[in-house]
Amino acid sequence: MSDLRIKEPSLRSFLSRSVTTEEKNRARRLHDRSIVIDTCGALPMGRNGRFEDSIHSLRAGGVNCIGMTLSAEEHDTKSAMDQIKFWNKAILDNSTELVNVRSADEIRQAHSDGRIAIYYMFQNGKPFADDPGNVELFRDMGVISSAVTYNHRNFLGDGCMEPENSGISMTGKAMIREMNRVGMLVDLSHAGKRTQYTAAEYSVSPPYFSHNNCYSVIPNRRNAEDETMRIVAEKGGNMNAMPLELGETDHPTVADMVDHVMHMIEIMGPEHVGFAMDYPKGRSSVYETAFIDDDGFLNIQYDGTLHVKHLDWSGGGVLRRPPWYLYAEGVDTYIGLPNLTLEMVARGLDDTVISGVLGGNFLSLLERVVG
């Protein structure tokens, strides 16, 4: 039994309505019996170089599996390999609590064993460089998902911040063909609108969004349009809502996040929806050491290594004030994750739909594409 806690509303309720004790108990039971998968997760290292606090938070939130980002905008081929070595050792050193997985059955086995499953993902195709042969190389190393691009242009296509908004490139098509062949998920998150659309159209295997919200709910460069969402659903993929990019409000809540879940269900169907928290995977002091430099770029410690992340965000939802990432109230840490389940109960979703959003839908996608 997980140490689940429904965080009670404080001065300002973060739920869309008041809930009954019966609904709270139902949400708690449902969360506890589901396989809960964060498709863009985090395991921050503490200042002591250990992971006890992060593991405790995951268990307190009832999380059974996370997608671990090994590369975003700052990693090339060699540094992505260094990340794999780092996390292979970190997981091995904590093998009583953690296990690296590469398939749906291995996630189920980890759940049965009481260990937290971690699968590897890229948020950028940059480590592939311009060589499709690198796709199979990283697949053999355990990377089972990769985004096409991260915000900016690479060999594969345009990111969401590129003003030209070009589509997938010829090299990108070659990469997608290879990802389809070896069984690697094609992730459309952070790509530009045309790159999302053309990559979704081109992929033979079901594409997906590891962490993304809806343009129709909040129109910005980062969120996905309904037309692309429909193509993803038609091809059998899914989309995972996140507690970011929720608008210009100073107080986003879990209710705002579930607004996106409800829109995804309407456009794509309930079997194509999941969630992702997209928490920073850096040290616990990530916000304390963050600063904006003279050129207006955000500098934060990105992970357990010495890599530094540089961002120049001008869209809504981030960088309004510290903390730099404005997470939705109620789900601003893993400990509050059961509130996502509670809000879905409050919206009137049935148990099967909620369990699918919590992880069942992604598990099905993984089984069909990866194994």
Tens of pLDDT, residues 10-21: 434 899 999 999
Q: How far apart are the first and last CA of the chain?
A: 28
Which amino acid belongs to residue 106? E
For the residues 8-35, what does the mean pLDDT come to?
86
Return the pLDDT at 301: 47
Work out the pLDDT band at 247, boundaries 50, 70, 90. confident
Q: Cβ contacts of residue 104 below 8 Å, gap of 6+?
A: 363, 364, 366, 367, 370, 371
Confidence of residue 147 (pLDDT cuts 50, 70, 90): very high
d(CA 333, CA 178): 36
Name the least confident of 17-21, 27-31, 358-362: 17-21
User: How is residue 63 written in tokens?
Assistant: 């999380």
Q: How far apart are CA 248 and CA 149, in angstroms?
A: 25
Could you tell me the domains of the chain? Answer: 21-282+326-369 (3.20.20.140)
- pLDDT, tens only, 191-236: 999 999 999 999 999 999 999 999 999 998 999 999 999 999 999 9
The residue among 57 and 298 whose pLDDT is bigger is 57
Asked whether the predicted pLDDT for residue 321 surpasses 50, the reply is no
Strand partners of residue 310: 299
Q: Residue 270 above 70 pLDDT?
A: yes
pLDDT at 128 over 80: yes
- What does the pLDDT read at residue 367? 98
Instruction: Count CB-CB contacts under 10 A for residue 220.
Output: 15
Give residue-wise pLDDT tens across range 74-104. Answer: 678 998 999 999 999 999 999 999 999 999 9
Q: Which of the pair, 303 or 113, is modelled with greater confidence?
A: 113
What does pLDDT average to over the chain?
87
Kindly state the average pLDDT of the residues 93-122: 98
Helix H or strand E segment including 68 = strand 65-71
pLDDT greater than 60 at residue 318: no
Least confident of 128-137, 144-153, 237-246, 276-285: 276-285
Contacts of 10 (CB under 8 A, 6+ apart): none
What is the DSSP-derived secondary structure letter of residue 229? Answer: H
The whole-number pLDDT of residue 45 equals 77
HSE-up of residue 129 (Cα within 13 Å, Cβ side): 10
